[in-house]
Amino acid sequence: MPTLTALDRVEDAVRRRGADLVELSHAIHAEPELAFAEHRSCAKAQALVAERGFEITEHAGGLDTAFRADFGSGPLVVGICAEYDALPEIGHACGHNIIAASAVGTALALAEVADEQGLTVALVGTPAEEAGGGKELLLRAGVFDDIAAAVMVHPGPTDIAAARSLALSEAVVQYRGKESHAAVAPYLGINAADAVTVAQVAIGLLRQQLAPGQMMHGIVTVGGQAVNVIPGHATLQYAMRAIESDSLRELEGRMYACFAAGALATGCEYEIDEPAPAYAELRPDPWLAEVCRSEMQRLGRQPVGPEVEAGLPMGSTDMGNVTQVLPGIHPIIGVDAGGATVHQRGFAAAAASPSGDRAVLDGAIMLARTVVGLASTPEQRDRVLAAYERRAGA
């Protein structure tokens, strides 16, 4: 019998652990937890690698629901990012259960070849991707400091090897006015809800002058408590997005002027809070993305071509912050959701379907084989390590 190559061995390792990985995916899916509260999901994501002998660091970066699990001692440290937070009311409609299980599968597979490939495998549990910017917080805390390259896979309606994303920031705007009886003495009140209305009208008019790729969307989280009381407090929450971070900064300036207009027109006081770190745009490493594309095709998938990728609708992810600092990829692996897309209930159901289960295994296989390709290609390995040395010496 011919000796299995490292590429074959990591694929075999994923398939041997396939039932465990699918069980993990379903277990996380069954108990959805929101950002920074993913205690059960965080523990579940650690269990299989702990059994394999990974060294576990809990509360990585000072975050209660983050962890790092390391195996091996090679000079090429590769991070595999696991997400496991869910969405309010609609659960795992972004398929983070698939992300976590595929990341665990990738880590387990790479552990089989870590010594011979000169690898240190670092599974990083990253909370609060949907809201909170967990990866940016971990970057700031130094959790990625020794990692030379980072990979993860995200489910979606179609296969995309070199996935892109939009830069994103959020703002919570508090308007403070003055309550008064709405019939007896409305003239004594300062209507904070009117400030919200003025701001939203200004934002609506701004949309005509947006640069390509800029967008905003928001909700009113507080708008008054009783119809016969002039609201003395109102709150807006908006997300702003753009193709790249410089464009986002320009959009923020214009949006903040709209928020100020609401206060100026009504006489309210106001303050703006940024509830989470900004998300940078994804910058996928071209070589890693092309290897990943080949692996998708080898598994019988049909990733869209580069000419199509540029025109696809995009969301935002804090993995963009990671790829701005070190080489990385965030491919999208297709899940058949019957026409539903991410953040819809139909996609939540599909995340624990046979198609979702296949995505767990295919995702782990293609990531593990991509990392082996990096480790065993001298020119690319040297490139990534040289980039790490420059970053470490900066």
Quick: pLDDT tens for 257-290.
Answer: 999 999 999 999 999 999 999 999 999 999 999 9
β partners of residue 169: 240
**1 falls within a domain:** no
Same domain, 127 and 51: yes
pTM of the full structure:
0.94
The residue among 214, 246, 273 that closes a domain is 273
Question: What percent of the chain stands above pLDDT 90?
Answer: 96
AA letter at 338 = G
**50 falls within a domain:** yes
Answer for the pair 71, 107: CB distance below 8 angstroms, yes or no.
yes
Tell me how far apart the alpha carbons of residues 137 and 164 are, in angstroms, rounded to a whole number.
21
AA letter at 206 = L
Please tell me the total count of domains within the chain: 2
**57 falls within a domain:** yes
The residue among 225, 246, 273 that closes a domain is 273
Of 266, 288, 280, residue with least CA distance to 383:
288
pLDDT band at 162 (very low <50, low <70, confident <90, very high): very high
Tell me how far apart the alpha carbons of residues 202 and 238 are, in angstroms, rounded to a whole number.
13
**86 falls within a domain:** yes
Mean pLDDT of the chain: 97
Domain coverage including residue 54? 6-165+279-393
Of 30, 95, 153, 120, residue with least CA distance to 344:
95
Mean pLDDT of the region 43-60: 98
The 3-state DSSP composition of the chain as helix, strand, coil percent (nearest 5) reads: 45, 20, 35
Same domain, 116 and 210: no
Mean pLDDT of the region 319-345: 97
Mean pLDDT of the region 147-175: 97
Check which CATH number belongs to the domain holding 265 and give it: 3.30.70.360
Tell me how far apart the alpha carbons of residues 184 and 264 are, in angstroms, rounded to a whole number.
25
Tell me how far apart the alpha carbons of residues 384 and 35 are, in angstroms, rounded to a whole number.
32
Same domain, 158 and 209: no
Same domain, 332 and 363: yes
pLDDT band at 312 (very low <50, low <70, confident <90, very high): confident
**121 falls within a domain:** yes
Same domain, 183 and 269: yes
